[in-house]
Amino acid sequence: MINIYDIINDLYTDDEGWNQVLRREYAEQFLRTEAFRGASDDDLLDIWGQVMYLLIYCGNTGCKIGDMTSEDLIYCISWCQRNIADFEVNYDSVEQLLSVIHRLLVFLKHKKAITDDDAALRCKRKLLGADKKLNLFNADGSLPDEYEKYRTNREPDLDTKIFMQMGKKLTDLFYLMKNYFNDDSFRYERKRARLSYFGSDSEPDFEKRPEIEASFWEFFLFDFHLSDTNQRPVEAFYEYYKSHPDPDYEKSNKALTVLLEAMQKVRLMVFTIEGEDEDGWYLCRDFFTGSISELSLPLDDNIDTGNLLCLAHVFEDGNLITEYLWSVYVKPLARKALLKRFSSLLEWYRVSEPGADWENFCENNAALITHMVGYAGMQDTILEPFRWSTKIRNYKPSLIKEDDPVHQFIIRFSRLLHISWKDRKNLLQMWSDFYTEHPVSFFSTDEYIVWALAILGSYMTLTETYLLDIVSYAEKTKIEGWRIHDRMQIIRTALNLEHFDPRYCSESSFMNMMFS
């Protein structure tokens, strides 16, 4: 069971500035008074949550608790609705907040810390109408325009929303997402993710290495792309959860949904650590762009950060999504060689994705980046120069015709084989590019199947990617292998295909380039 006094201790220990808003001794004594009145441990957590709404508002706006009027409390409620993800304006939430604030004001007046304790009661009379009707506020929790325009003290909104008990909410969301994606309907997606992350589709012994399981799920949720939609799982789950909130989390579902929305912007970042600022945050240099960010890192003071190359999933505000920081030691010369290899890959990637920047490259090649950084951090590793070259310049992809029978067959076949969205896109583009250069006619039903298998075979050959045993499939379907082979030759000639052709490379192709 969570101890409320431990929570208070953590708050004031982490930031003594809260004493300027409400002295710690008053906070603890008020909770003991509530416990004496009969509040249970769960009640005390709820009561402290209401107090925290008030503290957060005062701490961010400069308001003094003892000086607040009933109008100030109305503005406080409006501000909390906009800036605190956990707070939702309705009759019950407003009644609970004002009741707790009233008892706190009475307590503080008894302690002679303030002189007036009736602001919350006056606010209640203004806001709480008959039949549980909330006066003044709109249905969406905002104040009417005609009320807002007469205000003289407008408190600015925060850049990002505040979440109460952030760690617990992240734990809850990871549990919900893992439970959702552990369903049998996602077994092929998990298998493909394991192959990408571990280099094998077999599952490691997670019981012996729980940190490996945690890192895999972090990759799966924030970096992996689902085959049907190309969405990351966290994006797909956000859309699902908005319409299907879990009833077991009724009180926190609004905050969970808002936190899921914020998690859409979590990105994989590779960085070096340049130093520490006065507030204990670390100045970190993006390995790819060189830009400096302030990040909150779980580092001990005795760790040598000089040659660390780190990977983490980072919120917009600089906080890590988990307390786990993956890092390896890579010396400056090796880092320079690694960046050159990545830069060559980016240029390769830009053939099919013109204008792509580092953010786009990282978003679509996270497993590749993780493996390459890990390889660079291995002892005695020597990074060889990028050895691939291409004659392809100024590539202009052909228009994809969705009504084409080969196109339709590739779509159906790709889904049966659980081929990734990017591989499927490449197969369709290769067929469209070929058909533009070398139009063909179909004189029998199986003719377009032969061409589709030839495209698949050509793609697997140039990318060194295994998707299907073409020979076995041809034998089972009574298709002569020479027909497929002949058409593969025609495709190769018409498109001037290269090994790891940059027009048709996916992340798995890049992995084969770097590690074959």
Quick: pLDDT tens for 428-441: 999 999 999 999 98
Please give the share of the chain, as a percent, with pLDDT higher than 70: 99
Task: Kindly state the tokens that stand for 118.
Answer: 């009736």
Q: Strand 267-276 and strand 308-314: pairing?
A: antiparallel
CB atoms within 10 A of CB 196: 23
pLDDT for residue 256 is more than 90: yes
Who wins on pLDDT, 489 or 138? Answer: 489
377 with 329: CB under 8 angstroms? yes
Quick: pLDDT tens for 464-496: 999 999 989 888 888 999 999 999 999 999 999
pLDDT for residue 1 is more than 70: no
pLDDT for residue 232 is more than 90: yes
Q: What is the mean pLDDT of residues 118-139?
A: 93
Determine the pLDDT at residue 47: 95
pLDDT for residue 338 is more than 70: yes
Instruction: Give the closest residue to 99 by CA, choosing from 170, 34, 164, 145.
Output: 34
362 with 267: CB under 8 angstroms? yes
Distance CA 433, CA 492 (A): 11
pLDDT category at 43 given cuts 50, 70, 90 is very high
Give CA torsion, residues 237, 239, 243, 249, to 10 deg: 40
Q: Which amino acid is at 343?
A: S
Distance CA 456, CA 375 (A): 31
pLDDT category at 153 given cuts 50, 70, 90 is low
Determine the pLDDT at residue 293: 94
Average pLDDT of the residues of the chain: 92
Determine the pLDDT at residue 141: 82
Distance CA 449, CA 403 (A): 15
pLDDT for residue 104 is more than 90: yes
Determine the pLDDT at residue 381: 78
Distance CA 367, CA 508 (A): 9
Q: What is the mean pLDDT of residues 356-365?
A: 96
Strand partners, 276: 282
Distance CA 90, CA 252 (A): 14
Q: Spell out a b/e string for 15-53, using b for 16 or more CB atoms within 10 Å of the CB, else e.
A: eeebeebbeeebbeebbeebeeeebeeeebbebbbbbbb
Determine the pLDDT at residue 384: 85
Quick: pLDDT tens for 410-463: 999 999 999 999 999 999 999 999 999 999 988 777 899 999 999 999 999 999
Distance CA 462, CA 395 (A): 17
Determine the pLDDT at residue 152: 64
Quick: pLDDT tens for 317-330: 889 998 888 999 99
